[in-house]
């Protein structure tokens, strides 16, 4: 008795691939255009070119967005990541423009937006001993393409020390000081180095901050702050005066917040050009 299974020839016909439904391209009937839709909170390793033309390795928290016409139900989120990966890890002002145009093309959008926030590091020497320490600052790029027109906004947050002029004037035994944060946003005719904005802000305060100070340095920093008292109002005015005189800066906003050492609240001031 033959129990062998009859041979069945393989089918030469290929199976028809399953067609996946594209819900994003379906029509929406609510007649509402969306200004910005995309991805936010994306962490990505990048390199930032600094003033010495060295690529600094850091990590950015990113957002990528486009506009969505009222006719479409949704956008294609994966395409944002494809655009980001296609440009590699080196991010600078020049290829940000390329990324915006790529987002417009890949997502059929009239406008594209990119936000990128990252820590920026500098090595600073203590004022007397020259001991080196690394300082970190917060920087941010906000870029928008509307057609071929590009709007680029640079934000830098810098920590400083301020000493109260009123406290110095009325006290017999010194004056209270505090650490504060200055946030500068600018638009410019051509790129301005992050380091130059940091230096501009630090020179406008009572004293700079350092990560490493020996006793000689601490004495120098304390005395310098005492000799250069500034209110939070003085601080924003000092920064604004220097930005007004800057050849490349076309618009700015300066905010200062002092974390008061003898009050339960903070002191705040803001100046915006225009």
Percentage with pLDDT > 70 across the chain: 88
CA gyration radius, the chain: 27
Long-range contacts of 173-180, Cβ-Cβ distance < 8 Å, separation of 24 or more: 174/226, 175/226, 175/229, 176/261, 176/262, 177/206, 177/225, 177/261, 178/258, 178/259, 178/260, 178/261, 179/209, 179/258, 179/259, 180/205, 180/232, 180/235, 180/256, 180/257, 180/258, 180/259, 180/267
Residue 146, pLDDT above cutoff 70: yes
Question: What pLDDT does 88 receive?
Answer: 76
Residue with more model confidence, 225 or 24 = 225
Question: What is the residue-averaged pLDDT of the chain?
Answer: 90
Q: Are the C-beta atoms of 89 and 47 separated by less than 8 Å?
A: yes
State the virtual CA torsion across 53, 55, 58, 59 in degrees, nearest 10. 100
* Average confidence (pLDDT) over 199-222: 97
Long-range contacts of 13-18, Cβ-Cβ distance < 8 Å, separation of 24 or more: none
Q: Are the C-beta atoms of 96 and 141 separated by less than 8 Å?
A: yes
Residue 9, pLDDT above cutoff 70: no
pLDDT digits (tens, 9 = 90+) for 100-141: 999 999 999 999 999 999 999 999 999 999 999 999 999 999
Residue 74, pLDDT above cutoff 90: no
C-alpha span between 49 and 91 (Å, rounded): 8
The full set of domain ranges for the chain reads 34-272
* Average confidence (pLDDT) over 163-185: 95
Residue with tokens 């305060």: 205
Percentage with pLDDT > 90 across the chain: 72
- Looking at CATH, the fold of the domain delimited by 34-272 is given as Urate Oxidase (3.10.270)
* Predicted TM-score (pTM) of this structure: 0.86
pLDDT digits (tens, 9 = 90+) for 231-244: 999 999 999 999 99
């Amino acid at each position: 008795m033959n129990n062998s299974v009859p041979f069945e020839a393989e089918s030469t016909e290929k199976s028809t691939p399953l067609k996946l439904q594209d819900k994003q391209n379906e029509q929406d009937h609510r007649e509402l255009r969306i200004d910005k839709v995309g991805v936010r909170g994306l962490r990505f390793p990048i390199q930032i070119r600094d003033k010495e033309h060295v690529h600094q390795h850091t990590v950015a928290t990113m957002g990528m967005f486009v506009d969505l016409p009222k006719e479409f139900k949704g956008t294609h989120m994966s395409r944002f990541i494809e655009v980001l990966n296609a440009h590699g890890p080196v991010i600078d002002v020049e290829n940000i423009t390329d990324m915006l145009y790529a987002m417009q093309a890949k997502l059929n959008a009239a406008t594209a937006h990119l936000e990128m926030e990252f820590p920026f590091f500098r090595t600073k020497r203590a004022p007397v001993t020259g001991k080196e320490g690394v300082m970190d600052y917060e920087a941010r790029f906000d870029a928008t393409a509307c057609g071929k027109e590009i709007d680029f906004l640079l934000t830098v947050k810098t920590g400083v020390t301020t000493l109260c002029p009123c406290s110095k004037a009325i006290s017999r035994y010194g004056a209270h000081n505090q650490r504060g944060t200055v946030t500068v946003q600018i638009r410019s005719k051509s790129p301005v180095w992050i380091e130059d904005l940091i230096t501009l802000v630090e020179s406008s305060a009572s004293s700079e901050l350092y990560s490493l100070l020996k006793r000689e340095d601490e004495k120098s920093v304390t005395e310098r702050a005492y000799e250069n008292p500034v209110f939070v109002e003085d601080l924003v005015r000092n920064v604004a005066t220097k930005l007004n005189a800057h050849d490349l800066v076309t618009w700015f906003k300066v905010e200062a917040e002092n974390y008061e050492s003898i009050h339960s609240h903070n002191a705040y001031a803001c100046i915006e050009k225009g």
